[in-house]
Structure 1
Amino acid sequence: MIGRLVIDDVSPAVSGGRYPARAVVGEHIPIEATVWREGHDALAASVIWRRADEEAPGAALPMSLADAGLDRWKATVIPDGPGLWTYRVDAWSDPWASWRRAVSAKLDDGQGAEALANDLETGARLLERYARRADPGHRPRLLRAAGRLRDDRAPLAQRVSDALHEETAEIVARSPLRDLLTRGVPHQIWVDRPLALAGAWYELFPRSTGGRNAAGNPVHGTFATAAADLPRIADMGFDVVYLPPIHPIGRTHRKGPNNALTAGVGDVGSPWAIGSEEGGHDAVHPDLGTIEDFDAFVARARSLGLEVALDLAFQCSPDHPWVREHPEWFTTRPDGTIAFAENPPKAYQDIYPLNFDNDPAGLYAELLRVVLFWVGHGVTVFRVDNPHTKPVDFWHWLIGQVKERHPDVLFLAEAFTRPAVLQGLAKAGFTQSYTYFTWRTAKQELTDYLTELVGTVDFLHPNFFVTTPDILPEHLQQGSPAAFALRAALAALLSPAWGLYSGYELYEHRALHQGSEEYLDSEKYELRPRDWARASAEGRSLQPWITRLNGLRREHPALRRLRGLRFHTVDNDALIAFSKHDPATGDTVLCVVTLDPEQVEEGVLTLEPPLPGLEPDGTVSAHDALSGEPVTLGDSTLKIDPAESVARIFTWNGHE
């Protein structure tokens, strides 16, 4: 419906307002709209902003004309608490701005009092209208200005001086007349806590933390041995420790090392083959300990400032209790057997996928019960396995149900799938998503992809995992320490959220075979104890660099933002330069990262406005975050030797 004034192309509005936009507490959210009317009269607009659960009308925040040629108006809102918020853009005719503009133009044209007689009387009547609305202390000034406009004995310049004074404009702006007021359509923004946008994740298999016995053989780890590794993870500056499934593992069709179809005696199997006679999704593997041991692990993590993320894999081994108790929750093949998971030509005989169509009410209720069970045991974050293989309306329902009870719970989608599906899951409620960063390596494709992500920041929060247990990208398979370092730098500095899989800091890089992205001796199928202390002592660890990156992220709020990411010109395709800015603090960070792990690369960096803090001569006084030295940047020649450092990082305080 078109109002008296036109309010169009409002943002953020996800899928035309079908889904709430997403943001976090304290984030500066730009609200924009195209607002116009017929003719030349001035107009004004504001954002009505409030929490959805409040009955108060909300705060009216004035919008400014950001682009006169496109009639584009803008304001910034800052949510101070989590939950659902609403905003609406209102617009109205601004008679005082119209009067000032017209009279000023006629005065500049040299027109006299006789030609302006009607304008002067119109202005006087407007000031009387404003005076009736203004605070008592301001009324005399407005009425005095109205009287002077009518004083035909005074020179014209004196008659208009009070009316055109900035103090009068300020008083009028406090109690504006809203002629032809047009109210826009309400829109929603779901606001999460800051971890929903920014955080550092560490993926850990508790069963691999048991070390080795006297014979050198791996010992199955427990929640207690995993808890002993938490201080090391916290010291690196991570915010979340993510655990693959911790449930009992089936024995039927259990996989052996390197995904072998037949398991040997003592083979531990894949933790994603969930369920056995010991229990299902609400049980813990007995070799890891008890549920009380898990509670102790969560408590220890919290004491170190870490949150625990649990893998949510809605699939079953053939031995899962649901297979016996609810066969209707699975797909039966023509021969009467239950269908196992397939991604042709790959087959996963140890996993039965769920069928969401036979008994949705019963299955939905049980899966919600499982999630709430783990929330009750201190899990605040879920990493969801293969969400794109389950109905999107289920996720929309489940996440909504959980959020209604526990608004702080977050969901990360492992959605390595088509862009429309990845984005659709984010719109449906997922807090964060894995992305295609893992396969973006060249300067242009990184620039294009990050530009795309900035364009979807209103609903999709990316998490840049450098590797996962399933994915060892080709560019890391040579084992170059600098390659691992530069990918960590790109992930940690480009994305507000990033993560790595345990072993990354030890440069684990052996692929199953040439052309494969799977690890040789994958931890998905066997224990992988690691000697962290020995690796550090021998200088074979990326841990110091990871710690520095996470330290910079904590020191600089700009690195925990995606809005406002800018790329800058470097005349060398092996160097990529970008900056981030935090409008709340003025914190600005400029990063130059090499994409070549082997050679020294050099290039001229060009800084362009509107980079905050840039002087008129195109330079800025900055701090080298790695060396601690002051530096002046402009059209600067930079050299990066990957043997010393894969990045140059500069910081300063800038204001837009």
Structure 2
Amino acid sequence: MSGRFPIEDVSPVVSCGRYPAKAVVGELVPVAARAYREGHDALGCNVVWSGPDGAARPFTRMHPGEPGQDRWHAVIRPDAVGDWTFHVEAFHDPYLTWQNAVTKKLAAGQGPADLANDLAEGAQLLDAAAPGVPATQRQRVARAAAALRDTDRELSQRVEPALELADLLWAHPVRELVTVGDEHRLWVDRERALFSAWYEFFPRSEGAVPATVDAPARSGTFATATERLPGVAAMGFDVLYLPPIHPIGRVNRKGPNNSLTAGPDDVGSPWAIGAAEGGHDAIHPDLGTAEDFRDFVAAAAEQGLEVAMDLALQCAPDHPWVTEHPEWFTTRADGTIAYAENPPKKYQDIYPLNFDNDPEGIRAEILRVVLHWVGEGIRIFRVDNPHTKPFDFWHWLIREVKQVEPDVLFLAEAFTRPAIMHGLGRIGFTQSYTYFTWRTTAAEMREYCEELVAAADYMRPNFWPNTPDILHESLQHGGPPMFKIRAVLAALLSPSWGMYAGFELFEHVARPGAEEYLDNEKYELRPRDWAGAQEQGRSLAPFVATLNRVRREHPALRRLRNLRFHDIDNPALLCWSKRDADTGDTVIVVCSFDSTGVQWGNTTLDMPALGLDWHERFTVHDELTGASYDWGQRNAVRLDPYLQPAHVLTVRRPAPPGTPADVSTAPAQLSTESVPEDLSGGTAPTTPAQKDELRWTS
């Protein structure tokens, strides 16, 4: 920093500027700083920001925040992918200083003689200001300067034209004693880095035929998996994540449910990468050829799906790297290579990489592998267990890849300590898995989401209610309503969310004593009857499609920084909103955490957060039922886990006469003669027997 005035606590700045802050194209990025000066003269601040092309963007003046805090605020909107820079400038504002002084003196009753110097100085100031305003406004400034010099006018007539220039000279100020703050970086990604809906399936399970006494198992292929793409697209997802598609090791291959012994038909874990057929740059021959993969990626794109690949930097014992580069692994005292362990879990079919023995060689090879898949059209990687690899390696790799292809995105699958998860975000990971799965009360969820909003400058969450490794007990025992509840929370709290195949079929049976699926798809083929489930009304797919439709149609749901929570007097309920500053689009959600019983609550809304005055009434439209209601600051809500576990309300105003007063008394919600459609796609249960039918049976 150089200049007269202190500029401190600039944001967004990550790790004192060591790493760039993050944004996406079109996002309103808040910039703030603390700046102050001596005495009583007016200070002004502005942001200077430049795009990847180096060209400066339009002058952006900062507004003062809370009085007495000397905090200044502005928003910028980057419009291109790449590396941006910004810095804050502070300056003496002679017009605002003059305006403040003259206004106070006039209020004190001072006359022309008392203000003689002020009037002359004001005219000189306007002479200096005129060249800096738009050409269409220069005559206006000149006339105001002439009025200040016109001694034949009344004092108010001399001063008024100059005071009316406040807005013009705010946007085009005279700047003196300019202090230039330090330069900071902002990496801007494409919008999918922040707003995305992910779906995970195993290609080998789609179209697979399990083994029988008469025939061996037959894996699904990219060709058979293509048949599943329309169903995924119909649910509104835009990213299709594939577990590793590479050859699977045969040495120490795991059997069903992670058993140590594999039979001849057991397919093994896709994360045990590498065999005689090749390693991380190869495709499992059971899935097809490289051309088949390209066809699959193209078919997905036709359905509006972008394929994300798994980047798992680990090897099966028969991976080519093990024999070609034994130095890339850890050798134990007995001469054997160490397999992966997370006590008490053991992964005898996986060798972790050791980045210390030949860091340059292993870096070069991994960069080659990643760029190979980038060359095949892949722009998204879900990175397996990044917290078990060196952080400086990831910082280097992500930077190197983005220099080749700035659009590439990296999702960190790191269920680990908070500092490490945040650290991975800082060093460059685009998105991150989170603790969402284990936040099972409204209070826990609110606290965690507020933590994530506070970290929005560098960490973008992706909420997953389930993964192949994680089947939380709330889904094991909560029944279909809990699946709906978790889908609402994941899809509408976070701008990015995802789910693993089978969630829409309410798959819930866990391996005894574990938080993972019984007959886990990681170790065996698991074909599913998607069409049959849909026909029988046993699929959550229609509800998921509704959630993703609402996300696409409402810009407010595409951002994280705008998440605001509202008070509600029932701890089993969570109320939040999102509002888009550009369009005014506003969505309010009230969601139950109880999958077994009806919950009532009374909201106390933060009306300014909704863009409304405290006294205003407004109409809300429920995107799940189509009903509309008249709301204000305080509203009663009733949530039945079987009929409707959540309200997803879009704000419309003003409320027309005759609109139902609140959600709790709306006839459509309480009538048993006109039962609303169940959110899973069938008819809502209304009798104990019908409800019991939807409870789990083992």
TM-score greater than 0.5 by the shorter chain: yes
The residue aligned with 2:267 is 268
**Alignment equivalent of 1:189, drawn from 179, 183, 186:** 186
SS at match of 1:160: helix
SS at match of 1:67: coil
Asked if structure 1 preserves the Cα contact closer than 8 Å seen for 2:491 and 2:548, the reply is: yes
The residue aligned with 1:534 is 532
The residue aligned with 2:428 is 429
Q: Give the letter for the 1:6 counterpart.
A: P
Compare 234-243 and 131-140 and name the one that shifted more: 131-140
Cα offset for 1:519? Answer: 1.3
The residue aligned with 1:518 is 516
CA distance in 1, matches of 2:18, 2:175: 30
Compare 404-413 and 603-612 and name the one that shifted more: 603-612
**Alignment equivalent of 1:623, drawn from 621, 624, 627:** 621
Q: Does 2:365 match 1:366?
A: yes
CA distance in 1, matches of 2:499, 2:172: 54
CA distance in 1, matches of 2:367, 2:652: 46
Cα offset for 1:174? Answer: 5.4
RMSD: 1.8
The residue aligned with 1:46 is 46
CA distance in 2, matches of 1:311, 1:366: 17
Asked if structure 2 preserves the Cα contact closer than 8 Å seen for 1:49 and 1:86, the reply is: yes
The residue aligned with 2:596 is 598
CA distance in 1, matches of 2:387, 2:210: 41
SS at match of 1:578: strand
The residue aligned with 1:339 is 338
The residue aligned with 2:661 is none
The residue aligned with 1:391 is 390
CA distance in 2, matches of 1:4, 1:613: 38
Q: Give the letter for the 1:194 counterpart.
A: E
Asked if structure 2 preserves the Cα contact closer than 8 Å seen for 1:211 and 1:530, the reply is: no
Asked if structure 2 preserves the Cα contact closer than 8 Å seen for 1:565 and 1:579, the reply is: yes
Q: Does 2:20 match 1:23?
A: no
Question: TM-score, with normalisation over the residues of structure 1?
Answer: 0.96
Q: Does 2:186 match 1:200?
A: no
Asked if structure 2 preserves the Cα contact closer than 8 Å seen for 1:586 and 1:653, the reply is: no
The residue aligned with 2:224 is 225
Asked if structure 2 preserves the Cα contact closer than 8 Å seen for 1:479 and 1:507, the reply is: no
CA distance in 2, matches of 1:132, 1:232: 62
Q: Which whole-Å deviations, capped at 9, do the CAs of 1:57-111 have from their partners, x for residues lacking one?
A: 4422111112232111111111111111111111110011111111110111112
Asked if structure 2 preserves the Cα contact closer than 8 Å seen for 1:205 and 1:244, the reply is: yes
Cα offset for 1:262? Answer: 1.2
CA distance in 1, matches of 2:287, 2:130: 75
CA distance in 2, matches of 1:210, 1:259: 23
The residue aligned with 2:569 is 571
CA distance in 2, matches of 1:574, 1:30: 33
Asked if structure 2 preserves the Cα contact closer than 8 Å seen for 1:479 and 1:509, the reply is: no
Q: Give the letter for the 1:538 counterpart.
A: Q
Q: Does 2:465 match 1:466?
A: yes
Cα offset for 1:628? Answer: 1.9
The residue aligned with 1:649 is 648
Q: Give the letter for the 1:598 counterpart.
A: T
CA distance in 2, matches of 1:146, 1:243: 69
CA distance in 2, matches of 1:254, 1:174: 68
Asked if structure 1 preserves the Cα contact closer than 8 Å seen for 2:61 and 2:171, the reply is: no
CA distance in 2, matches of 1:152, 1:350: 93
Asked if structure 1 preserves the Cα contact closer than 8 Å seen for 2:3 and 2:178, the reply is: no
Q: Give the letter for the 1:530 counterpart.
A: R
CA distance in 1, matches of 2:616, 2:135: 49
Pick closer, same or farther for the CA change 1:141–1:579 going to 2, 3 Å: closer
Asked if structure 1 preserves the Cα contact closer than 8 Å seen for 2:577 and 2:587, the reply is: yes
CA distance in 2, matches of 1:137, 1:288: 67
The residue aligned with 2:161 is 162
Q: Which whole-Å deviations, capped at 9, do the CAs of 1:201-244 have from their partners, x for residues lacking one?
A: 11101111124379598531111111111110011100111111
The residue aligned with 1:494 is 493
Compare 541-550 and 109-118 and name the one that shifted more: 109-118
CA distance in 1, matches of 2:61, 2:121: 25
Q: Which runs of no fewer than 5 residues in structure 2 stay unpaired?
A: 655-698
Cα offset for 1:15? Answer: 1.0
Pick closer, same or farther for the CA change 1:139–1:241 going to 2, 3 Å: closer
SS at match of 1:454: helix
Asked if structure 1 preserves the Cα contact closer than 8 Å seen for 2:210 and 2:525, the reply is: no
SS at match of 2:603: strand
SS at match of 1:610: helix
Pick closer, same or farther for the CA change 1:18–1:577 going to 2, 3 Å: same
Q: Give the letter for the 2:610 counterpart.
A: P
Q: Give the letter for the 2:413 counterpart.
A: E
Cα offset for 1:329? Answer: 0.7
CA distance in 2, matches of 1:213, 1:266: 9
**Alignment equivalent of 2:557, drawn from 556, 559, 583:** 559
Q: Which whole-Å deviations, capped at 9, do the CAs of 1:252-307 have from their partners, x for residues lacking one?
A: 11111111111122111111111111111111111111111111111110111100
SS at match of 2:589: strand
Q: Give the letter for the 2:112 counterpart.
A: A
CA distance in 1, matches of 2:211, 2:324: 43
Q: Which whole-Å deviations, capped at 9, do the CAs of 1:506-532 have from their partners, x for residues lacking one?
A: 111111113x20211111111111111
CA distance in 1, matches of 2:593, 2:69: 39
Pick closer, same or farther for the CA change 1:100–1:270 going to 2, 3 Å: same
Asked if structure 2 preserves the Cα contact closer than 8 Å seen for 1:608 and 1:618, the reply is: no
Asked if structure 2 preserves the Cα contact closer than 8 Å seen for 1:511 and 1:519, the reply is: yes
The residue aligned with 2:587 is 589
Q: Which runs of no fewer than 5 residues in structure 1 stay unpaired?
A: none
**Alignment length, in residue pairs?**
651
CA distance in 1, matches of 2:406, 2:428: 12
The residue aligned with 1:455 is 454
The residue aligned with 1:289 is 288
Q: Give the letter for the 1:245 counterpart.
A: P
Q: Give the letter for the 1:199 counterpart.
A: S
Asked if structure 1 preserves the Cα contact closer than 8 Å seen for 2:464 and 2:497, the reply is: yes
Asked if structure 1 preserves the Cα contact closer than 8 Å seen for 2:608 and 2:614, the reply is: no
Compare 362-371 and 601-610 and name the one that shifted more: 601-610
- Aligned sequence identity (%): 59
The residue aligned with 2:240 is 241
Q: Give the letter for the 1:575 counterpart.
A: L
CA distance in 2, matches of 1:132, 1:462: 48
Cα offset for 1:618? Answer: 4.0
CA distance in 2, matches of 1:365, 1:135: 54
Asked if structure 1 preserves the Cα contact closer than 8 Å seen for 2:211 and 2:265, the reply is: no
CA distance in 2, matches of 1:288, 1:184: 56
Asked if structure 1 preserves the Cα contact closer than 8 Å seen for 2:3 and 2:177, the reply is: no
Q: Give the letter for the 2:25 counterpart.
A: V
SS at match of 1:279: coil
Question: TM-score, with normalisation over the residues of structure 2?
Answer: 0.90
Pick closer, same or farther for the CA change 1:214–1:272 going to 2, 3 Å: closer
CA distance in 2, matches of 1:22, 1:136: 37
The residue aligned with 2:68 is 69
The residue aligned with 2:659 is none
Cα offset for 1:124? Answer: 2.4
The residue aligned with 1:377 is 376
Q: Give the letter for the 2:288 counterpart.
A: G
The residue aligned with 1:546 is 544
The residue aligned with 1:90 is 89
**Alignment equivalent of 2:612, drawn from 607, 611, 614:** 614
Q: Give the letter for the 2:48 counterpart.
A: I
The residue aligned with 2:123 is 124
Pick closer, same or farther for the CA change 1:532–1:160 going to 2, 3 Å: same
Asked if structure 2 preserves the Cα contact closer than 8 Å seen for 1:587 and 1:654, the reply is: no
